[in-house]
């Protein structure tokens, strides 16, 4: 049994990680391992405290003595600077396993460095560290509005900054780190995002609720933390372009990145009677919305790369879903989701909506298959896998001071060597390392 420090948003934080991820994992984890839930939130829901001990920390001054009593710390990072900022501050000083819930973290670092910590120099240094002079220049342009946040997120995702000093990285998206060219210098595990489906009885109840509201009008649902990349503009534009739009109602559930902009768009496109804005919803109302919805629109562009907890929730409700063919979503099966091409967004959404009107039953079957696909997301298997990975990653820990040391040595050498010696030394060092590794492997085999 391990003693684990767990850092993640916890209910009632407005975060899918808190509600859809942590609350699925923690009951299983806390039963098998001594788990301490560290939080900088002012308030934690009582049901969390019944799972494991909750302890508070100040991000600027965490209680290292108490943290060092555990075998390992597991930090959960996503793109919300306010929710994950404190967790990152602890993780960058105290090496542990970093679970990335988003892979493009530029928005997060821009928020933390530029707004929370007010350290523009640290922001630019991070960009320069991973992307050289080009990164620094882009960061400078971003600060004065010369480059947009979406472009920065795609070209300079800063994923490795989150992994800096980590003992290991867990993602829920196979291949994405390689695709982003952001592979960190520590062990990486790609695990299927955990999800415990509701029991059959509950599911049958949802299906009954859906049958009781057959449509038309058909209820379309958009759900979650609705940042710019959730494509609400495109969805509204597409809906407005569907001649049979009166047969749909669009339910927008979740916190909006710019509510007044969305309201203006709804008015401009004359969609007022067809669209409802619900804001962030408590659990019971989420259930009411999802069990009576007919189609979910779960688009991302640009994708921040990671698995979507809300997508798994849609599968759980047997809801057919439109997703963007990008990032983790692109790896979903064709028969569980309907794809929207980023470059033909409005056209594809419109086509799917019209297909839906033609054959709602086919979409219903797609939702059923989505629910079947949840089997491989079993939280128990996930807990076993993450703990196994964490135990193995502890082996990496001595390499952290070694890497720091190498950095300091490199820095010192650059002070007194001619400028062009750097490339030569790097080449020599690489050759030496390759030779040593080969020798070690030979010795081990013999």
In whole angstroms, how close is the CB of 407 to another protein at the nearest point?
11
Name the nearest CA neighbour of 129 among 171, 162, 83, 178: 162
CB 322 within 8 A of CB 349: yes
Q: How far is the CB of 88 from another protein (least distance, A)?
A: 13
Q: Residue 391, interface with another protein (CB under 8 A)?
A: no
Q: How far is the CB of 71 from another protein (least distance, A)?
A: 9
Cross-strand bridge partners of residue 250 = 220, 275
Q: Is 432 in the site for another protein (CB under 8 A)?
A: no
- Binding pattern for the stretch 308-347 against another protein, x by CB under 8 A and - elsewhere: ----------------------------------------
User: Using the rule CB under 8 A, is 67 a contact of another protein?
Assistant: yes
Q: Which is nearer to another protein, 93 or 331 (CB)?
A: 93
Stretch of residues binding another protein (CB under 8 A), selected from 66-74, 97-105, 153-161, 316-324: 66-74
d(CA 310, CA 17): 10
| Residue 397 touching another protein (CB under 8 A) | yes
Token pair belonging to 272: 């007022």
Binding mask 151-180 for another protein (x = CB under 8 A): ----------------x-------------
Nearer to another protein, 71 or 140 (CB): 71
Q: Does 68 bind another protein (CB under 8 A)?
A: yes
Shortest Cβ 351–another protein spacing (Å): 53
Instruction: Verify binding: residue 362, another protein, rule CB under 8 A.
Output: no
Find out whether 101 and 21 touch, Cβ atoms under 8 Å: yes
Among 1, 42, 65, 282, binds another protein (CB under 8 A): 65
- Helix ranges, 58-158 (H): 64-67, 81-93, 106-109, 120-143, 149-155
394 scored as a contact of another protein (CB under 8 A): yes
Binding to another protein by residue 271, rule CB under 8 A? no
Yes or no: say if 28 and 4 are a contact pair by the CB < 8 Å rule: no
- Cα separation, 85 vs 347, in Å, equals 38
400 binds another protein (CB under 8 A): yes
Closest among 84, 113, 86, 75 to 14, alpha carbons compared: 84
CB of 409 to another protein, least distance (A): 8
Residue 348 token pair: 């594809």
CB 309 within 8 A of CB 196: no
Burial category of 60 from C-beta neighbours within 10 Å (exposed 0-12, middle 13-18, buried 19 and up): exposed
Q: Which tokens go with 324?
A: 């963007």
C-alpha closest to that of 390 among 87, 154, 14, 71: 71
From 228-236, 332-340, 368-376, 397-405, span contacting another protein (CB under 8 A): 397-405
Size of the site for another protein (CB under 8 A): 19
CA dist 88 and 78 (Å) reads: 10
Choose, by CB under 8 A, the member of 261, 268, 408, 428 that binds another protein.
Answer: 408
Closest CB to another protein among residues 167, 299? 167
- To another protein, the closest distance from the beta carbon of 187 in angstroms equals 14
How far, rounded to the nearest angstrom, does the alpha carbon of residue 192 sit from its chain's CA centroid? 13
CB closer to another protein, 361 vs 398: 398
Q: Which two tokens stand for residue 302?
A: 């640009």
| 273, 282, 398, 419: residue in contact with another protein (rule CB under 8 A) | 398
Q: DSSP letter at 56?
A: E
Query: What angle (nearest 5°) sits at the alpha carbon of residue 305, between those of residues 170 and 153?
Result: 115
From 16, 62, 157, 224, residue interacting with another protein (rule: CB under 8 A) = 62
Residue closer to another protein, measured from CB, 66 or 421: 66
Which of 232-240, 294-302, 346-354, 392-400 is the region at the interface with another protein (rule: CB under 8 A)?
392-400
- By CB under 8 A, residue 64 contacts another protein: yes
Q: Segment 75-114, which members bind another protein (CB under 8 A)?
A: 93-95
Question: What's the first-to-final CA gap in the chain, in angstroms?
Answer: 35
Q: What is the CA radius of gyration of the chain?
A: 24
How distant, in Å, are the alpha carbons of 90, 91, 409 from that of 404?
A: 18, 16, 9
Contact residue for another protein among 60, 288, 392, 402 (CB under 8 A): 402
Strand 248-253 relative to strand 218-223, pairing? parallel
Per CB under 8 A, does 407 bind another protein? no
Which residues of this protein are in contact with another protein, per CB under 8 A?
A: 62, 64-65, 67-69, 93-95, 167, 394, 397-398, 400-402, 404-405, 408
């Amino acid at each position: 049994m391990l003693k684990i420090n767990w850092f993640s948003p916890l209910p009632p934080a407005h975060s899918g990680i808190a509600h859809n991820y942590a609350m699925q994992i923690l009951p299983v984890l806390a039963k098998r391992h001594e788990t301490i839930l560290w939080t900088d939130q002012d308030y934690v829901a009582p049901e969390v405290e019944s799972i494991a001990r909750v302890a508070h920390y100040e991000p600027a001054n965490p209680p290292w003595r108490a943290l060092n009593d555990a075998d390992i710390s597991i930090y959960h990072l996503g793109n919300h600077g306010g929710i994950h900022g404190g967790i990152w501050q602890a993780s960058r000083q105290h090496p542990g396993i970093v679970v990335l819930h988003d892979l493009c973290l530029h928005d997060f670092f821009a928020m933390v460095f530029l707004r929370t910590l007010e350290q523009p120099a640290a922001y630019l240094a991070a960009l320069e560290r991973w992307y050289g002079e080009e990164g620094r220049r882009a960061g400078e342009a971003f600060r004065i509005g010369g480059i947009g946040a979406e472009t920065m997120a795609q070209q300079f995702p800063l994923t490795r900054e989150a992994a800096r000093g980590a003992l290991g990285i867990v993602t829920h998206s196979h291949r994405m780190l390689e695709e982003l060219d952001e592979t960190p210098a520590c062990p990486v595990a790609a695990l299927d995002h955990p999800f415990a489906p509701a029991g059959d009885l509950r599911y049958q109840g949802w299906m009954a609720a859906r049958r009781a509201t057959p449509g038309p009008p058909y209820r379309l649902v958009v759900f979650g933390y609705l940042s710019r990349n959730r494509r609400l503009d495109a969805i509204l534009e597409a809906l407005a372009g569907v001649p049979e739009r009166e047969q749909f109602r669009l339910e927008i559930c979740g916190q909006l990145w710019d509510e007044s902009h969305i309201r203006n768009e709804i008015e401009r496109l004359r969609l007022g009677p067809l669209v409802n804005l619900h804001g962030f919803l408590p659990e019971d109302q989420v259930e009411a919305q999802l069990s009576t919805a007919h189609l979910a629109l779960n688009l991302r562009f640009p994708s921040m790369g990671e698995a979507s907890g809300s997508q798994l929730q849609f599968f759980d409700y047997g809801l057919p879903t439109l997703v963007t063919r990008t990032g983790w979503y692109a790896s979903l099966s064709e028969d569980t989701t309907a794809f929207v091409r980023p470059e033909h967004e409005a056209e594809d959404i419109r086509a799917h909506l019209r297909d839906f009107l033609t054959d709602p039953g086919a979409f219903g079957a797609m939702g059923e298959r989505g629910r079947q696909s949840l089997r491989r997301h079993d939280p128990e298997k996930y807990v076993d896998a993450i703990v196994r990975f964490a135990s193995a990653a502890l082996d990496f820990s001595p390499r952290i001071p070694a890497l720091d040391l190498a950095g300091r040595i490199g820095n010192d050498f650059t002070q007194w060597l001619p400028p062009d010696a750097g490339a030569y030394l790097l080449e020599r060092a690489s050759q030496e390392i390759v030779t040593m590794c080969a020798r070690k492997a030979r010795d081990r085999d013999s």
